[in-house]
């Protein structure tokens, strides 16, 4: 018997996230462990008069392929992927992590090569198709969260079926305020960072592209970032987790970087020129996600957090920065993580993870739950 929460989640993905219409083509990509949700999605897509297509993912096979990547090979693979995305209207990607470090042995130059070749495919997919990405509960993901598999499954399915319509409405006054803001200042232990967001679009995220969701993002004016930011959560990237990451910016560029694996951090920031500039600034508000688990799809939505991102800017909040890197790094500002403030044009907007303006109170945890 299908878990009713799986049925509900499939409905949220189809009707709220990608807003499926009769006659449309939906690509459902997922690991084998996601079979219960994939089959439910197939049935519900048919029930809505649309057409499902599937693609099975396998990280171990992907690792073997990645170890020997050559440009000619990747160009063929990218051409196939581009045709696939051109032929569908929407994409649902369901990740079922078995081993977060599966790709840790793949040489960085192979990641860089794939990023360069697949960049046009990624840009087309992100900017021209309706899409949603989510994680499916697995023992590996439960272990990351420090929970039993059953408890994590319950947690994830509850979070994924939150009231995103309510969140969407609560974002409206913050979006309006950010659109009028020129200067942002972030403070926290080890952090004092300032930058401009003048004339950069602001995008609220309430279940359309990510599940779970709960962030609102823009990007800093490329050369405006000055100061230091110290992240107090693990920063995973390409199968390696970095701790105690600290970045110092001058006129937009990262001039100093530190972490427990500094050499590897510097190598990523040297991927290309854009990797040392920021491509995103976002505020997390999900009231059900309160601690980091080393998975960015969850961690970037933590209530009372923000993330600041070296690398590529999204086209819908574009500051012109281009890079093969897009690395979301999370700073939690709630009191138990050291506190902190966000100022818009010298006005205190959020303190210790709580919005202090009346018009933004709807985004505080007690109101969003």
> In the numeric block, which tokens belong to residue 83?
């045709």
Statement to judge: residues 223 and 260 lie in one domain: yes
Residues 60, 73 within the same domain: yes
Q: Token digits for 254?
A: 């990262």
- C-beta separation of 306 from 330 below 8 A: yes
Whole domain around residue 183: which residue ranges? 164-368
- Whether the Cβ atoms of residue 57 and residue 98 lie closer than 8 Å to each other: no
Specify whether 101 is located in the same domain as 231. Answer: no
CATH number at residue 47: 3.40.1830.10
**Closest Cα partner for 341 from 242, 194, 239?**
194
Number of domains observed in the structure of the chain:
2
DSSP 276-331: GBEEEEEEE-BTT--S--S-HHHHTTBTTEEEEEEBPPPGGG--S---S-B--EEE
DSSP per residue, 299-312: HTTBTTEEEEEEBP
Boundary (domain end) residue, out of 144, 160, 176? 160
Q: Are residues 154 and 169 in the same domain?
A: no
Length of the chain: 369
**219 and 328 part of one domain:** yes
Q: Are 179 and 136 found together in one domain?
A: no
- Which one of 160, 186, 218 terminates a domain? 160
Pair 223, 252: CB distance under 8 Å: yes
pLDDT (0 to 100) of residue 2: 66
Q: Alpha carbon 106 to chain centroid distance?
A: 22
214 & 146 share domain: no
How would you write the pLDDT of the chain (369 residues) with one tens digit per residue? 568 889 999 999 999 999 999 999 999 999 999 999 999 999 999 999 999 999 999 999 999 999 999 999 999 999 999 999 999 999 999 999 888 788 888 898 898 899 899 999 998 988 899 999 999 999 988 988 889 999 999 888 888 877 888 999 999 999 999 999 999 999 999 999 999 999 999 999 998 888 889 999 999 999 999 999 999 999 999 878 999 999 999 999 999 999 999 999 999 999 999 999 999 999 999 999 999 988 898 999 999 999 999 999 998 999 999 998 999 999 999 999 999 999 999 999 999 999 999 999 999 998 988
What number of other Cβ atoms are within 10 A of residue 153's Cβ?
19
Instruction: Say yes or no: 285 and 222 in one domain.
Output: yes
Is residue 149 domain-shared with residue 212, that is, in the same domain?
no
pLDDT of residue 1: 54
CA distance 249 to 231: 14
257 and 137, same domain (yes or no): no
DSSP secondary structure string, 53-84?
EEEEE-HHHHHHHHHT--HHHHHHHHHHHHHH
The last residue of one of the domains, among 160, 183, 213, is 160
Q: Which residues pair with 242 in a beta bridge?
A: 235
Q: Based on the domain organization, do 89 and 179 belong to the same domain?
A: no
Rounded-to-integer distance, Cα 275 and Cα 312, Å:
7
Neighbour tally for 352: CB within 10 Å:
16
100 and 139 belong to one structural domain: yes
For the chain, the C-alpha Rg in angstroms (whole number) is: 20
Identify the pLDDT of residue 70: 96
């Amino acid at each position: 018997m299908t878990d009713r929460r799986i049925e509900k989640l499939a409905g949220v993905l189809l009707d709220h996230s990608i807003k499926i219409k009769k006659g449309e083509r939906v690509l459902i990509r997922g690991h084998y462990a996601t079979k219960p949700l994939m089959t439910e999605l197939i049935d519900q897509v048919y029930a809505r008069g649309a057409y499902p297509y599937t693609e099975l993912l396998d990280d171990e096979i992907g690792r073997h392929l990645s170890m020997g990547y050559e440009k000619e090979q990747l160009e063929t693979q990218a051409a196939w992927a581009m045709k696939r995305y051109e032929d569908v209207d929407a994409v649902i990607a369901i990740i079922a992590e078995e081993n977060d470090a599966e790709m840790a042995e793949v040489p960085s130059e192979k990641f860089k090569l794939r990023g360069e070749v697949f960049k046009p495919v990624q840009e087309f997919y992100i900017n021209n198709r309706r899409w949603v990405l989510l994680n499916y509960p697995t023992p590996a993901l439960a272990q990351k969260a420090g929970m039993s598999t059953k408890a994590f499954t319950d947690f994830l399915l509850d979070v994924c079926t939150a009231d995103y319509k309510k969140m969407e409405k609560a974002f409206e006054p913050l979006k309006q305020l950010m659109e009028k803001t020129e200067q942002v200042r972030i403070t926290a232990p080890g952090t004092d960072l300032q930058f401009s967001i003048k004339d950069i679009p602001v995008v609220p995220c309430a279940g359309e592209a990510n599940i779970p969701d709960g962030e609102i993002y823009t990007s800093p004016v490329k050369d405006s970032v000055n100061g230091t930011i110290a992240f107090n959560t693990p920063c995973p990237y390409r199968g390696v987790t970095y701790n105690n990451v600290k970045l110092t910016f001058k006129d937009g560029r990262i001039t100093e970087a530190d972490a427990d694996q500094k050499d590897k951090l510097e190598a990523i920031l040297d991927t290309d020129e854009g990797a040392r500039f920021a491509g995103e600034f976002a505020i997390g508000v999900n009231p059900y996600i309160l601690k980091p688990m080393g998975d960015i799809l969850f961690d970037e939505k933590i209530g009372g957090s923000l993330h600041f991102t070296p690398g590529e800017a999204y086209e819908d909040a574009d500051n012109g920065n281009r890079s093969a890197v897009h690395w979301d790094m999370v700073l939690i500002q709630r009191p138990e993580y050291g506190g902190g403030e966000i100022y818009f044009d010298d006005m205190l907007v959020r303190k210790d993870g709580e919005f202090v303006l009346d018009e933004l109170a709807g985004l505080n945890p007690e109101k969003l739950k």
